[in-house]
């Protein structure tokens, strides 16, 4: 009996099992289960690359809010004041600043308060 696709099929299975390394039970050792699991894991990976961006933005906002409240500002006021003061820092750098550079964050808060103070006087 002649073999069809013998070496090619073995290579394809080898590639699948290499990608499924660390999967538990049949999900890492049975060809059909491996294929199904890899399809699903690819879908999760695709979806969660976008979810990760949302989650980090939420985390940065929570950190900025906590730091801004310690300086007497709400998050929404703080962001509005940043725009008024023409401070172009993004949320990630503001979050890092709040954690690692408290003095710098305080300076930013003071600038925001000044911008908000001048805005309330103009109204």
**Mean pLDDT score of the chain:** 94
For tokens 């930013």, name the residue.
108
Q: Domain of 13: which CATH number?
A: 1.10.1900.20
The answer to whether residue 51 sits within a structural domain is yes
Structure tokens at 22: 């660390």
pTM, two decimal places: 0.80
What is the structure's pLDDT at 121? 65
Are 64 and 92 spatial neighbours (Cβ–Cβ below 8 Å)? no
Residue 1 lies in a domain: no
Mean predicted confidence (pLDDT) in 43-50? 98
Q: What percent of the chain stands above pLDDT 70?
A: 96
Residue 27, SS3 per DSSP: helix
- Domain count of the chain? 1
Domain that holds residue 84: 6-122
Q: Kindly state the tokens that stand for 93.
A: 């750098």
């Amino acid at each position: 009996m002649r073999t069809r696709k013998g070496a090619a099929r073995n290579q394809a299975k080898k590639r699948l099992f290499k990608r499924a390394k660390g999967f538990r039970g049949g999900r890492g050792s049975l060809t059909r289960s491996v294929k199904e699991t890899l399809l699903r894991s690819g879908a999760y990976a695709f979806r969660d690359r976008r979810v990760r961006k949302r989650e980090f933005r939420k985390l940065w906002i929570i950190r900025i809010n906590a730091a801004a409240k310690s300086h007497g500002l709400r998050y929404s006021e703080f962001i509005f004041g940043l725009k008024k003061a023409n401070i172009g820092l993004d949320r990630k750098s503001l979050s890092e600043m709040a954690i690692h550079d408290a003095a710098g964050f305080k300076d930013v808060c003071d600038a925001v308060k000044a911008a908000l103070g001048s805005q309330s006087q103009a109204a």
